[in-house]
């Protein structure tokens, strides 16, 4: 009983101090996480910060996503971000731009693996967020692309979000005019999908 009271008191102290964070969630993605075409507060990482606060979890969210980012670009930028933010969790949401450009799946997988390794070496847990390619890229490429995320997650025993647009990818009303970027109404759906795998890492 006393131990439970002490843990509760410690949690309250952490939450009462604006700087006393137990951890940082670093969102490392592309335009799908950067909030392309949206107001900053509408993006799913912004909604994630609100949900974490509402759940009284002592974590802050740093969204370092960049529109147009590839896995190669993300890998090049990651060491400095790990040093600066010292995250406890890194959410890797990259690969869509590799796929849209038809870049080799093997190179993408190598870059993702290197980011997983760097994040873990820095002491962070990793959540891998997968993506799928439209069918016009051909069955062989789309199959290998999707499998790359599953293989990395399995080999590294990572929590995986297989597809961040699960449940609405086939509904045009949830996308902007370009047909690629989700609208504001889709952001809570993305968050719900990611939250299922992320929440256990915040305990």
Show which residues are catalytic: 31, 178, 181
Long-range pairs for 75-78 at CB < 8 Å and ≥24 separation?
Answer: 75/111, 75/114, 75/115, 75/118, 78/28, 78/115, 78/118, 78/119
Backbone angles phi, psi at 26, to 5 degrees: -100, 115
The residue count of the chain comes to: 203
User: Residue 37: CA atoms inside 13 Å, Cβ hemisphere, count?
Assistant: 16
Radius of gyration of the chain (CA): 17
């Amino acid at each position: 009983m006393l131990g439970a009271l002490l843990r509760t008191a410690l949690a309250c102290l952490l939450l009462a101090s604006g700087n006393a964070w137990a951890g940082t969630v670093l969102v490392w993605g592309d335009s799908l996480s950067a909030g392309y075409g949206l107001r900053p507060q509408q993006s799913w990482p912004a909604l994630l910060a609100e949900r974490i606060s509402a759940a009284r979890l002592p974590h802050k969210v740093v969204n370092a996503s960049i529109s147009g980012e590839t896995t190669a670009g993300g890998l090049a930028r990651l060491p400095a971000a790990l040093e600066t933010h010292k995250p406890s969790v890194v959410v890797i949401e990259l690969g869509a731009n590799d796929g849209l450009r038809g870049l080799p799946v093997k190179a993408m997988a190598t870059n993702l693996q290197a980011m997983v390794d760097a994040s873990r070496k820095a002491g962070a847990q990793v959540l891998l967020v997968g993506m799928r390619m439209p069918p016009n890229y051909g069955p062989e490429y789309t199959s290998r692309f999707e499998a790359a995320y599953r293989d990395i997650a399995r080999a590294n025993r990572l929590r995986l979000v297989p597809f961040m647009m699960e449940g609405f990818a086939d509904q045009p009303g949830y996308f902007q005019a370009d047909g690629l970027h989700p609208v504001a109404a889709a952001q809570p759906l993305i968050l719900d999908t990611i939250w299922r795998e992320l929440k256990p890492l915040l305990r």
